[in-house]
A and B are shown apart, each in its own frame.
Chain A
């Protein structure tokens, strides 16, 4: 049971570089999310998607982009890395059974450092 898989687990970027954080789920969930977690700040929603081809901004979308071409994958793109993007990034997924959001499952996270 793979669940939600994130790659890479760790990455160091130089300021101005770009990268894509990968996220894949094998539970056929239609909802997927990206959060960042900073010490003492809790988890903040970056972007989310309610299905293939549909994405929406969360609380802290600036500096990031997403796409959702398939149900399984939801990559997060950093175009011009900045030190403020040093964080731990979590991808999650859930489904909607007609009663709103159901139980969410999280990946193990990607620890990103921008220097």
Chain B
């Protein structure tokens, strides 16, 4: 059974810092890995999708990497801003199982 873990559970940083969020998964037989953002009381917004054959994917100040063999992904956020404050979730589908989610990292960027 696929299990996804995200560390840390919460993170508070001053504005302008670069930061890394971590995601690990137990079953490396994945199709892809998806990072989402969730604002309080809102739905999930897709940030990045990394295919299993890719090592990284970039969108603006966000860069996600994938090391399938070690079961790890990182989301790098450059020059953080208060507007980046949200919960960040990673999720993987594997086998016949749709997305399995981690519990998320709650990020606060302090101005």
Contact = CB atoms under 8 A, between A and B. Distances in A.
Task: Classify chain B's interface size.
Answer: 20 to 34
Interface in B4-42: 31-32, 34, 36, 42
Q: Is the interface of B mostly helix, strand, loop or mixed?
A: strand
A90 B31 contact: no
Contacts of A99: 31, 51
Contacts, number: 57
Nearest to A45: B98
B98 A31 contact: yes
B98 A48 contact: yes
Task: Classify chain A's interface size.
Answer: 20 to 34
B58 interface: no
Interface in B60-94: 89, 91, 93
Interface of B: 31-32, 34, 36, 42-46, 49, 51, 89, 91, 93, 97-104
